[in-house]
Amino acid sequence: MESFSYFLRLSTAGLLLDVESFRMQRDNPRTLRDGFVVVLLIGVLVGAAGIIGNLLSMLAMPDPQAFLDVIKSHLERAAFVTELQRANPGFNLDPVFDQLTRLINVLRWSGLIGAVITPVVYLISWLVYSAVAHVAARMLGGEGSFAQTLGCTALASGANWLAVVQIVPFAQVAGTTILGLIGCYLGLRAAHHLPAWRAFWATLIGPIFLGLLLIVLGCGALAVLIAVGQGGR
């Protein structure tokens, strides 16, 4: 059985855009298994970095409740709030700040929850993207099997190593998506022996389809909200 160092080296192929590693992965008889391990390994390590980063961020941030209390005390003494209370004796800031407190608590813990489920998100994203990209590549004349597509696109997950810097509180990573797409391009071209432009379109069809789907869903949700709002009048 391959060692941890083997999978660690394999996982850096997408980060370093090592074309030879993609070609070797295409011909690897255990390409599917190794690809799964690579995606899982990166997901676990990035998730662990995210957990540490979120904990450090929570320790570094001032107490949100104390911050809200200061804002509330200033607002209660503001002239316009006093006038509102005179005009409307039932006016009270407490419900608003109670909602803000709950929202902040949810946001503080959502980062930790997201970090914990990172490996699962990475695996699902890999499988969904690979399925769409494989169909696109075959339609464009590709020759690779689905296992080869999965094995090669798994290496593109190496771009997510950039996300490890989130262990530093408030750090932001730029270019992970672009680097990941370049890795997918190299993987699809290696797995399917596609010419450059066909590999390019096979790489982008998945994200373009997802973007259009999100736009359609967003427009549908907006239309429903408008219809509900008009119906409630």
Q: What residue spans of 12-92 are helical by DSSP H?
A: 13-16, 19-26, 31-60, 64-76, 79-87
Each residue's pLDDT tens digit, 37-87:
888 888 888 888 777 776 776 666 666 666 666 676 766 666 666 666 666
* pLDDT score of 50: 76
- List all residues 6 or more positions away from 40 whose beta carbon is below 8 Å from its beta carbon: 119, 122, 123
Each residue's pLDDT tens digit, 97-147:
666 666 666 666 666 677 778 888 889 988 988 888 888 888 888 888 888
Residue 89's pLDDT band, with cuts at 50, 70 and 90, is low
Question: Whole-model pTM?
Answer: 0.59
Distance CA 220, CA 233 (A): 20
Distance CA 9, CA 154 (A): 13
Each residue's pLDDT tens digit, 7-47:
778 877 777 777 788 888 888 888 888 888 888 888 888 88
Distance CA 212, CA 134 (A): 19
The Cα-based distances of 162 to 50, 65, 148, 220 in angstroms read 12, 33, 25, 35
Each residue's pLDDT tens digit, 139-171:
888 888 888 888 888 888 887 777 765 554 444
Each residue's pLDDT tens digit, 190-229:
888 888 878 888 888 877 877 787 788 777 776 666 665 5
